[in-house]
Amino acid sequence: MEQKYRRTKTTVSLINYHFVFCPRYRRKVLVNKVEERFRQLVEEICQENDWIILAFLLWK
């Protein structure tokens, strides 16, 4: 996927972040409805801030 620079009146930027959610003791906490709700919240926050999700992986 080609990434485009974001432009405003005073800036030009291309910023990528990699977030890792690691629960204590590596327990499986993102199960069933919790996983669905977590994904919903992340997607809503990204839409509000005009951020693009390149990949969304949950390890099980």
Residue 54 lies in a domain: no
Residue 42 falls within a domain, yes or no?
Answer: yes
Domains held by the chain: number:
1
Query: For residue 27, is it within any domain?
Result: yes
Q: Does 39 fall in a domain?
A: yes
Instruction: List, for residues 10-34, the tens digit of each pLDDT value.
Output: 999 888 888 777 766 666 766 778 7
Q: Is residue 59 part of a domain?
A: no
Higher local confidence (pLDDT), 54 or 41: 41
pTM (whole model) above 0.75: no
Whether the pLDDT of residue 59 is over 70: the answer is no
| 31 within some domain | yes
Please check whether residue 60 lies inside any domain of the structure: no
Residue 32 forms part of a structural domain = yes
Interatomic CA distance for residues 59 and 57, integer angstroms: 6
The model's pLDDT over 32-43, given as tens digits with 9 standing for 90+, comes to 787 788 889 999
Give the domain range for residue 10. 6-48
Q: SS3 letters for 1-60?
A: CCCCCEECCCCEECCCCCCCCCCHHHCCCCCHHHHHHHHHHHHHHHHHCCCCCCCCCCCC
Higher-confidence position of 38 and 45: 45
